[in-house]
Amino acid sequence: MKSMGPILQDNAKPGERDHAPHIANCSTCTTRHLSICAALGHEELLTFDHVVQHRSFPAKTVLFEQGAKADFVFSVSEGTIRLFRLLPDGRRQIIGFAIKGDFLGVAMDEVHEYTAEAVDYIRVCRIPRAGFAVMLDEKPHLMKKLHQLAGREIHNSQDQIVLLGRKNAEERVAAFLLSFRERLARIATKSVTIPLPMSRQDIADYLGLTIETVSRTISKLAREKLIVVVPDGIRILDVDHLMALADG
Amino acid sequence: MKSMGPILQDNAKPGERDHAPHIANCSTCTTRHLSICAALGHEELLTFDHVVQHRSFPAKTVLFEQGAKADFVFSVSEGTIRLFRLLPDGRRQIIGFAIKGDFLGVAMDEVHEYTAEAVDYIRVCRIPRAGFAVMLDEKPHLMKKLHQLAGREIHNSQDQIVLLGRKNAEERVAAFLLSFRERLARIATKSVTIPLPMSRQDIADYLGLTIETVSRTISKLAREKLIVVVPDGIRILDVDHLMALADG
DNA sequence: CGTTTCGTTGATATTAATCAACGAGCGTGG
DNA sequence: CCACGCTCGTTGATTAATATCAACGAAACG
């Protein structure tokens, strides 16, 4: 397993803010309505401003590591983050990819259950967990929203369990493309061209396959005219056929 | 795929209560402190009594089916329930096993995301979802408890994702035995003898394997003196070795 | 411009699935 | 009460899917 990139220092101030000078506050945040902040009223948003820390990081930055004390929760404003766990011998399983609007820390764990690492350039809102916990106690609608997110996370996990437990390589890749497309549709206009910021190795570690199998499967789907490989992404040619494949 | 056993009729009154005449109310329920009810105070428990319906069912009873409207949530008092999803061609993936103290409906979905089927004789508390939702809105500590359960469910799912994505047959079986043992320890005294009410096929469908591979792997672990197969269960001989295996 | 990383493809190995047979236990009905 | 038929679990033989090992070209990078 290769090195994991720079660990984020809590006191690593230099340059941090420089990356995102255009975000002044939550009220003007374009990700607001997609994120957990959608549960906040105008006034609450103002108080939230004092708690939230806008940060941005280059690719490969480790936001937090599995096993570390969870001092912050995060809301993703931009970019892609891979969430993974490592086995002692280096085998990696990617639990999920977090994109714009996603919330990291739904479970409000004391300790991080997985490592989070920037796939590309990312912007996040970092929120002290303790303060957030207080807000949750005070604002039932925020708690409700968080629980709603937890429910969605449970669904996604169960989908992934079915995929990993019972689907073959072709079905897994098809399902991945469609589900990632679906998630992108929430934050942009739905398109048949799916940008894939993560590497083939990331996709493999997400789908429980090897990089070679992912590559071969994508080639096969392309040979069968279901998709076309484009720079940094994949275009879907036959959505219906791909869906039928993905569902098993 | 074989038939799925009798579907639970909502109006199936005859005999239902007869199975569990000894449960009069929530206050005397021996499962209370293990379940979501642990979040309820004495008075709340009394009101809960009017909402909760104690029911018991024989093995193979379908509690609810994937895709059906979720009119109830459930708390398990006794027995084992398998939770699974089916692919169109009959492939089955068991999402989890629910045992005494477990809550079905953490996500509070409108529609059931999986089918729940009694493995053996079960007793459950059936709670109308609408009424429960009202209670959640009124009692923040209940909401908090529910969210805590959701967090645990997310963890378990992620463990299972790592298992299915990156572990081999031997590691999967070892991990299953240990995790099931751990869960049983919550409701009984911890023992090296693990009762396994579910079939080999159930274990296979939970671990993303075939029944033959599960059987062979268990035989292998027994040959290596890590476990002994006993009637309706398995006894662990070498916990440490098994743990090392399970963790990868 | 060399060097590294990434993705692809081919050849081979390995794991687990599939196909098949069999014995034990269990319930049912003669 | 025993015999029959099921279901279940186990084991063996073979196949199929994916992993592993290896080579290569293209793009990215210093």
Section B115-125 average pLDDT: 96
Q: Which residues contact B127 (CB under 8 A, 6 or more apart)?
A: B51, B52, B53, B72, B73, B74, B75
**Burial (Cβ within 10 Å: 0-12, 13-18, ≥19) of residue B21:** exposed
pLDDT at position A124, please?
95
Query: CB of B174 within 8 A of CB of B245?
Result: yes
Distance CA(B244)–CA(B248), nearest Å, equals 7
On strand D, nucleotides with any atom < 7 Å from a protein CB are 8-13, 17-22
B75-85 pLDDT tens trace: 999 999 999 99
The two three-digit tokens of residue B178, written as one number: 């240990």
Q: Tell me whether B69 touches chain A (CB under 8 Å).
A: no
Alpha carbon separation from B45 to B12, B41, B77, B126, B218 (Å, rounded): 26, 6, 16, 15, 44
pLDDT at position A193, please?
94
Residue bearing tokens 């268990």? B218
Q: Tell me whether B137 touches chain A (CB under 8 Å).
A: yes
B151-165 pLDDT tens trace: 999 999 999 999 999
Alpha carbon separation from A177 to A98, A170, A184, A245 (Å, rounded): 15, 11, 11, 11
* CATH 1.10.10.10 domain residues, chain B: 167-246
Q: Which residues contact A15 (CB under 8 A, 6 or more apart)?
A: none
Query: CB of B160 within 8 A of CB of A161?
Result: yes
* CATH 2.60.120.10 domain residues, chain A: 26-159
Contact across the interface for A146 and B151, Cβ inside 8 Å: no
* CATH class of the domain defined by B26-159: mainly beta
Q: Contacts of residue A143 in chain B, CB cutoff 8 Å?
A: 140, 143-144, 147
Asked if residue A93 keeps its beta carbon closer than 7 A to nucleic acid strand D, the reply is no
Q: Which residue of B has its CA nearest to A169?
A: B165
Contact across the interface for B151 and A92, Cβ inside 8 Å: no
Q: Which of A87, A140, A207 lies nearest to residue B248, judging by beta carbons?
A: A87
Measure in Å the smallest separation between the Cα of A14 and chain B Cα atoms.
35
Three-state secondary-structure class, residue B136: helix
pLDDT at position B9, please?
40
- Strand order of the sheet with strand A72-78? A53-57, A122-128, A72-78, A103-104
Distance CA(B121)–CA(A16), nearest Å, equals 59
Tally C-beta pairs within 8 A across A and B. 120
Percentage of residues of chain B with pLDDT beyond 90: 81
Q: Which residues contact A134 (CB under 8 A, 6 or more apart)?
A: none
Q: Tell me whether B129 touches chain A (CB under 8 Å).
A: no
Query: CB of A200 within 8 A of CB of A215?
Result: yes
Section B104-133 average pLDDT: 96
B11-29 pLDDT tens trace: 333 333 344 445 668 888 8
Three-state secondary-structure class, residue A213: helix
pLDDT at position B48, please?
86
Residue-by-residue pLDDT tens, chain A, 248 positions: 333 444 444 333 333 434 444 566 888 889 999 999 999 888 888 888 889 999 999 999 999 999 999 999 999 999 999 999 999 999 999 999 999 999 999 999 999 999 999 999 999 999 999 999 999 999 999 999 999 999 999 999 999 999 999 999 999 999 999 999 999 999 988 888 999 999 999 999 999 999 999 999 999 999 999 999 999 999 999 999 999 999 99
> Taking the domain B167-246, which CATH number applies?
1.10.10.10
